[in-house]
Chain A
Amino acid sequence: MNGNASQLEIADESRTSSPSRVAENQVAPPPVSYWLQVLKRLARNKTAMFGAVILLVFTIGCASAPLIAPYPIDEMNFKDRLMAPGSAHLLGTDDFGRDIFSRLLYGGRISLLTGLVTVTVASLIGVTLGVIAGYYRKVELYIMQVMDILLALPALLLAIAIIAVLGPGLTNAMIAIVIAVIPSYVRVVRAQVLSIREKEYIEAVRALGIRDRVILVKHILPNILSPIIVLMTLQFGTSILAAAALSFLGLGAQPPAPEWGAMVYVGKAFLGQAWWMSIFPGLAIMLVVLGFNLLGDGLRDALDPK
């Protein structure tokens, strides 16, 4: 190793100092998994944990709705219509005497499922398009022009326009939301890929003759995962809000489905006499969206400890 180091003038001084060599052999303590560290940082973040608790309560409540719900969602009881919150009906009843609490639990299933489906589909399509746009400069212009056109329109307005073509209904509302939020994934992912693809470790695997497919999946994707996860979490809330808004406008889930947005809409007509019909579903929407936003913000901090 140090056979002919003396030929090198610049190294002469330092060869006598052994500490540098010792330091070279020191290594950091055994590896702690990256994701474990992220979880630890997240757990220390109180607001993020508050968001997580909200979401956990809602998820468990909605998942076990058949066990918890005191009444069936469509059981009408005209004797008890427009009853204020009380012991018989925890959150009151609506204009058909249906139990609001039960309907909220079942409606949450629709909302959470809407969020899950739209986020999954939109992120799959968006990430794929973003990676292609970022890595292959030849198609970048075409993809990004389309995305810019979509972004130029307000998401909700775009969704309404799409539903105008497809017709109202929960499935079409989800399709509309997916199309409306894809551009935000594409933009984020493309920007990330653009910065990663110029890194020397990508050049190194290109120099090895590794195929583009492998480079994208094995080397680029893991390095852009953090912002994608943050975006997905935040979009979860946005999608639920958008779905509720569309239902409120009568374009999404149709009554008598206990969708939160639809419930707020129905309750609007009775706001003077039975405020609980609109307020509680509205509160549910707010809390879930708040939960996702708090968790998303916390995740962003945990994934990017700077």
Chain B
Amino acid sequence: MNDALLVVEDLKTYFPLKKGLFGQKTGEIRAVDGVSFHLRQGETLGIVGESGCGKSTTGRSILQLVRPSAGSVRFGGEELVSMPPAKLRGMRNQMQIIFQDPYASLNPRLTISTILAEALSVGEKGANPTEMRERVLALLQLVGLNPNHADRYPHEFSGGQRQRIGIARAIAARPKLIVADEPVSALDVSIQAQILNLLQDLQEELGLTYLFISHDLGVIKHISDRIAVMYLGRIVEIADKRRLFEQPMHPYTQALMSAVPIPNPNQKKERIVLGGDVPSPANPPAGCAFHPRCAQAMEICRRVRPQELEIEREHFVACHLYGSSEKER
């Protein structure tokens, strides 16, 4: 863990539910409820989960775009959660974000060169206009766009092209960490592969570290080194990509994996179909959040929240089926 670029410990982000004239707090949405993981320089950690499980909020909380309610986020050794806004602003260029919707992530009133120049000026101050122009053009080339299009407006580009512009903006600030929040979910499948490969090429070239958020297991499997599975604001399992796909331990992960289609019509496989819906994060179940839908739920699951357990090297599972709690079965 010494070489970790990012260490997240017990991160919690709650959104208050307010009612009435003076906004009395009547409850809270536990979007992120005690998430811990670490991220090494140059690796890609995929976060996968259903919609509404807190994947995006986790990413935004790490970047302090949403200030977390509790917990710790250490980036390059510096604690971000308690950092005053002015100091945080100076560090922002080191961690960037790529958004899901390429149609909403670019200001429609600014040209591409204006958008990119602004991002470049954050990473490196004091460049004159000619230098800046050259860098914008170089940046466009780097992400596979035609530099002649620098003075066009976002609406003149296709979704894939816009996503490239979004990526260019993120790398312009010379970040170490990029949170990619479902960067390909809004794109055609054919474009998805191009964007994913672009992200991988850039990672190699620039030594980037990715936190890659997606609900698409195929995409996650393609790009990640390690994968964290989230359910209702918590990480239920985190492991090396191969381990997780070959030997999922948590019942929820097993159900997810059984839903991945196999490109072989003759191979029969058993699908675990989960009953019911994801519970509301405003009122999460006691104990293990997954117990109402878990086929293997036990008495203890209803009462005690399972702790993350390292069942083998770098493979953490939060489930009472494993480890010490097994005796109580």
**A residues near B, CB below 8 A?**
1-5, 7-11, 13-15, 17, 20-21, 23-28, 31, 34, 199-201, 203-211, 218-219, 222-223
Contacts and interface: CB of A to CB of B under 8 A. Distances in A.
The 7 nearest A-B residue pairs measured at CB: A209-B92, A11-B193, A14-B190, A200-B105, A20-B190, A209-B89, A28-B156
B158 A223 contact: no
Contact of B109 (A3, A205, A207, A223): A223
A3 B201 CA distance: 9
For chain B, what secondary structure do more than half of its interface residues adopt (helix, strand, loop), or is it mixed?
Answer: helix
Contact of A210 (B63, B118, B263): B118
A2 B144 CA distance: 12
24 contacts: A5-B193, A5-B194, A8-B196, A8-B218, A9-B263, A10-B189, A10-B218, A17-B190, A20-B190, A23-B158, A24-B194, A28-B155, A200-B104, A204-B99, A206-B65, A207-B65, A208-B92, A208-B169, A209-B88, A210-B122, A222-B109, A222-B110, A223-B108, A223-B109
Nearest to A222: B109
B153 to A, nearest CB: 6
B200 interface: yes
B194 A2 contact: yes
B243 interface: no
B97 A204 contact: yes
A68 to B, nearest CB: 42
A7 B223 CA distance: 10
A211 B158 CA distance: 30
B197 A2 contact: yes
A3 B106 CA distance: 28
Contacts of A210: 118, 122
A10 B99 CA distance: 21
B188 A20 contact: yes
Interface in B233-265: 263
B224 to A, nearest CB: 12
Interface in B189-208: 189-194, 196-198, 200-201
Given A25-B146, A27-B157, A200-B101, A11 B93 contact: no
Contacts of B95: 207
For chain A, what secondary structure do more than half of its interface residues adopt (helix, strand, loop), or is it mixed?
Answer: helix
B151 interface: yes
Contact of A8 (B157, B193, B201): B193
Interface string B274-290: 00000000000000000
A15 B193 contact: yes
Interface string B137-179: 0000000101001011101111011000010010001000000
A14 B197 contact: no
A248 to B, nearest CB: 40
B96 interface: yes
Given A11-B190, A25-B146, A200-B105, 13 more contacts: A4-B197, A8-B193, A8-B196, A8-B218, A10-B218, A13-B189, A24-B191, A27-B149, A200-B104, A201-B105, A201-B107, A205-B118, A208-B169
Contacts of A205: 107, 118
Contacts of B189: 10-11, 13-14
Nearest to A5: B193
B213 interface: no
Nearest to B60: A203
Contacts of A21: 190, 194
B222 interface: yes
Nearest to B105: A200
Contacts of B201: 1, 3
B182 to A, nearest CB: 11
A206 B101 CA distance: 17
B122 A209 contact: yes
Contacts of A200: 99-101, 104-105
B192 A10 contact: yes
A173 to B, nearest CB: 36
